[in-house]
């Protein structure tokens, strides 16, 4: 019941990261029916192109055994070894092409479904696979019912097809009683090819359905809850609370550096407590006054405190302070439209040479 409710809560489609992690862990959609169909197709190819030729090549060797059994001496161990070598080579010539065809078709059935991956986790022991509870859920769960339905369909369809083929070949089977025994292998091979071909045709629909079901079931098992998506997003992008805290710390450090740099200012223009802009002007450094620091309210008061501690003139000009605060960024020179009013203040300060704060009306 808990597993069902947990599955029902997974309403969101899996993310790309979820799919990628599943593939890396070896959780891939696989159709077993496709592999079985590939084996049957390989058997059909073997019957059509290899069995007849292989039997013809193997027949002379078998015939020599039957016609002249004394032609192979077995007096010593070397004689027995030679005999086994001859038999083994002939058997290998007959069996190797068959095995190669089966392997090629089996690999093709797997490679066409998914790209090959080396996943060592899949071969590690997993004790949940021998758990009675897990085995019971696999047998009587959704996947178990689907496998039972597929097996039942295969049993019925293959039984009907084989029965139909055998019934249609009944007349030939009776005729074989009166035909030359040499023709019996060819007749048996023909009937076997018809049976295998009919089974392939009967199961091809099941294979297509099973391929679609494997993909659907795989995606369904990878579905995520909304909380899992949120957690994954946090892992990928970082926790918003932590990121906000880091941004706040960065702003605080930047603000502290800015306020500390106000100690190098030539003058501070204030309004009188709401805004403050610290300017530095040296002819050999910049062509125009440079903004070292600016701030409002508490930061403005901090800038004024630094200025007063370092005997930097503080000029109270409400309109100019507000305009500079809005128009200029830190570490930038003032725009040309502020050259004249700022130049007048600098000239006034140079002429007065007063370290105390002055007020320009």
Sign of the dihedral through C-alpha 38, 44, 49, 55: positive
Q: State residue 2's pLDDT score.
A: 46
In the chain, % of residues over pLDDT 90: 2
Residue 138 has pLDDT above 80, yes or no: no
CA angle 215, 220, 225 (to 5 degrees): 150
CA atoms within 13 A on the CB side of 359: 4
Candidate CATH numbers 3.90.550.10, 1.10.3720.10, 3.40.1690.10, 3.40.50.720; the one for domain 244-359: 3.40.1690.10
DSSP one-letter code for 169: T
Nearby residues of 47 by Cβ (< 8 Å), 6 or more positions away? 189, 192, 193, 196
Task: Determine the average pLDDT of the residues in 56-67.
Answer: 73
Q: Mind listing the pLDDT tens digit for each residue in 326-358?
A: 888 888 888 888 888 888 888 887 777 644 544
Segment among 24-38, 141-155, 205-219 with least mean pLDDT: 141-155
| 359 bridge partner residues | 316
- For residues 312 and 333, what is the distance between their CA atoms, to the nearest angstrom? 19
- Indicate whether 104 pLDDT > 90: yes
Bridge partners of residue 270, in order along the sequence: 276, 316
CA distances from 81 to 71, 85, 94, 186 (A): 15, 6, 20, 34
pLDDT band at 220 (very low <50, low <70, confident <90, very high): confident
Task: Check whether 139 has a pLDDT greater than 70.
Answer: no
pLDDT of residue 119: 67
If one counts every other C-beta atom within 10 angstroms of the C-beta of residue 278, the result is 29
Banded model confidence at residue 103, pLDDT cuts 50, 70, 90: very high
Q: Give the C-alpha separation, 265 to 65, whole Å.
A: 112
Say which range, 33-47, 130-144, 279-293, has the weakest mean pLDDT.
Answer: 130-144
Do residues 274 and 297 make contact, with C-beta atoms less than 8 angstroms apart?
Answer: yes
Domains of the chain, residue spans: 28-117+128-221, 244-359
| pLDDT, tens digit (0-9, with 9 covering 90-100), for 6-45 | 566 777 888 888 888 888 777 888 888 888 889 888 988 8
What's the pTM value of the predicted model, to 2 decimals?
A: 0.53
| Cα distance between residue 152 and residue 156, in whole Å | 6
pLDDT at 100: 92
């Amino acid at each position: 019941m808990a597993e069902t409710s947990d599955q029902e809560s997974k309403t969101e489609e899996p993310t790309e990261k979820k799919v990628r992690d599943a593939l890396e862990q070896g959780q891939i959609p696989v159709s077993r029916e496709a592999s079985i169909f590939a084996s049957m197709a390989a058997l059909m190819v073997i019957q059509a192109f290899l069995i007849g030729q292989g039997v013809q090549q193997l027949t002379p060797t078998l015939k020599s055994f039957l016609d002249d059994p004394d032609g192979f001496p077995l007096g010593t161990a070397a004689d027995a070894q030679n005999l086994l070598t001859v038999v083994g080579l002939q058997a290998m010539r007959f069996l190797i092409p068959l095995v190669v065809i089966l392997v090629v078709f089996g690999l093709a059935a797997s490679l066409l479904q998914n790209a090959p991956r080396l996943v060592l986790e899949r071969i590690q022991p997993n004790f949940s696979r021998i758990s009675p509870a897990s085995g019971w859920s696999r047998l009587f769960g959704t996947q178990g019912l689907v496998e039972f339905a597929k097996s039942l369909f295969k049993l019925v369809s293959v039984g009907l097809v084989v029965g139909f083929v055998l019934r249609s070949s009944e007349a030939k089977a009776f005729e074989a009683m009166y035909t030359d025994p040499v023709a019996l292998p060819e007749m048996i091979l023909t009937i076997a090819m018809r049976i295998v071909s009919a089974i392939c045709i009967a199961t091809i629909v099941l294979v297509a359905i099973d391929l679609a079901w494997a993909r659907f079931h795989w995606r369904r098992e990878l579905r995520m809850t909304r909380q899992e998506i949120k957690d994954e997003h946090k892992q990928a992008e970082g926790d918003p609370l932590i990121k906000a805290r880091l941004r706040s710390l960065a702003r605080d450090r930047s603000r502290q550096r800015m306020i500390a740099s106000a100690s190098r200012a030539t003058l501070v223009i204030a309004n009188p407590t709401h805004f403050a802009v610290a300017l530095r002007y040296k002819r050999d450094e910049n062509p125009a006054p440079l903004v070292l620091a600016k701030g409002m309210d508490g930061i403005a008061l901090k800038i004024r405190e630094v200025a007063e501690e370092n005997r930097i003139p503080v000029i109270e000009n409400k309109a100019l302070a507000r305009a500079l605060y809005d128009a200029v960024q830190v570490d930038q020179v003032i725009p040309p439209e502020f050259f004249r009013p700022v130049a007048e203040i600098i000239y006034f300060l140079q002429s007065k040479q007063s370290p105390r704060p002055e007020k320009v009306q």
